[in-house]
Chains A and B, each alone.
Chain A
Amino acid sequence: MDRETLQAAVCQLDSSIRPLEENADRAAVVVEAAALPAILRRLRDEPEFSFAQLLDHVAVDWIDRGQFELVYHLYSFKHKHFLFVSVFVPREDPRVPTVCRLYPVAEWQEREVYDLFGVLYEDHPDLRRLFLEDDWIGFPLRKDYQDDFMLDRPR
């Protein structure tokens, strides 16, 4: 399936799924946070898609829009196709249900995002910091992160 067909086919799955408006070089869709686990389960299990692997999970801090974008990179060994699933959550209260029951590796990928962005994953079995100490203050990959330690490059 090529990019457009795949994107259209995924959008057919559920009325809450819509294509990503911004430019992306792979098929990309946007889903609602609450519907995420159910949709990922269907994407994984339905033979037409069979996205068996969650390759990656990335967060992007869109500070101007006041949103975090959470991107799930899905890959299917069977059909060799690739999909971005994006979820937008508000910056003030970033909450999203965990998908680590579907893809076990998400447990750590989500911990990484929590550690660096402070996104809270509901129902996560072991949500704690991954790279930084437990008493670290702030979430360093947020665009507005400041601390006394960081040096700016002299221009």
Chain B
Amino acid sequence: MGIVTDKLPGALEKVPGGNVLVTRFDEIINWARANSLWPLTFGTSCCAIEMLMATGGPRHDMARFGAEVARPSPRQADLLILAGTIVKRMAPRLRTLYEQMAEPRYVIATGACTISGGPFIYHSYTTVRGADEIIPVDVYVPGCPPRPEQLFHGLLTLQKMIKEGETIREPGVRRKPVISALPEGVTMEDIQGEMKELLVKENVVDVHQAVDKLKWPSGTNDGS
């Protein structure tokens, strides 16, 4: 688990002999899930270099978001980062991989190919036009390939969705998929600066606060 970018939901109460945490199960479970996503290494083509290798590398470092434990086996993973074109022959295998993952499982589709077929949409006799024809997708990250920063934004969006979305009574039922793109005028430096400031200020970061300040596009997080 990386830096937990969120306060533990709930209230601490001091009682003689220690502390008692008062919280709701939904909240604390979602909090834990959101901050320890284990991605499956599923890279079919170009996007894999950016999505799995560059983000796993020291510069971008996925570990900051608690999602660096990449697993080659679907049974140990709960986040499927689709990196690369899906063709007809791969489609059943992808479905199998998805089904082998344990619930709750999340899917981030990165790159134009997994969203729509990308550059291979016309006159291709094999390219599947969008991974959502095969499996449900939670977050789309556009780009060809997306930059690692974009993936992180997608990841943060997913974490937010998880925290807000699921309940124990209805596991796997989630809100509408959201598109992850940096809003106009916001650069990664802004976000990094923001994060740093907050980290300095109180050691932990409240993502919700940061989000409000950054004015993320409406519709990405209202859950409606």
Contacts and interface: CB of A to CB of B under 8 A. Distances in A.
Chain A in direct contact with chain B (Cβ < 8 angstroms): yes
Interface of A: 131-133, 140, 145, 147, 149-153
A133 B89 CA distance: 7
Interface residues of B, number: 9
Which among A131, A140, A150, A153 has the greatest number of chain B C-beta atoms within 10 A?
A: A150
Interface of B: 88-89, 121-126, 129
Nearest to B89: A133
Contacts of A147: 125
Contacts of B88: 133, 149
Contact of A140 (B89, B122, B125, B129): B125
B123 A151 contact: yes
B51 to A, nearest CB: 24
Contacts of B123: 150-153
SS class, residues of chain A in contact with chain B: loop
Given A132-B89, A133-B89, A149 B122 contact: no
SS class, residues of chain B in contact with chain A: loop
Which among A132, A145, A147 has the greatest number of chain B C-beta atoms within 10 A?
A: A132
Which among B121, B124, B125 has the greatest number of chain A C-beta atoms within 10 A?
A: B125
Given A132-B89, A150-B123, A151-B122, 10 more contacts: A131-B89, A133-B88, A133-B89, A145-B125, A147-B125, A149-B88, A151-B123, A151-B124, A153-B122, A153-B123
A147 B123 CA distance: 10
22 contacts: A131-B89, A132-B89, A132-B126, A133-B88, A133-B89, A140-B125, A145-B125, A147-B125, A149-B88, A149-B125, A150-B123, A150-B124, A150-B125, A151-B121, A151-B122, A151-B123, A151-B124, A151-B129, A152-B122, A152-B123, A153-B122, A153-B123
Contacts of A131: 89
A145 B121 CA distance: 17
B112 to A, nearest CB: 15
A145 B126 CA distance: 13
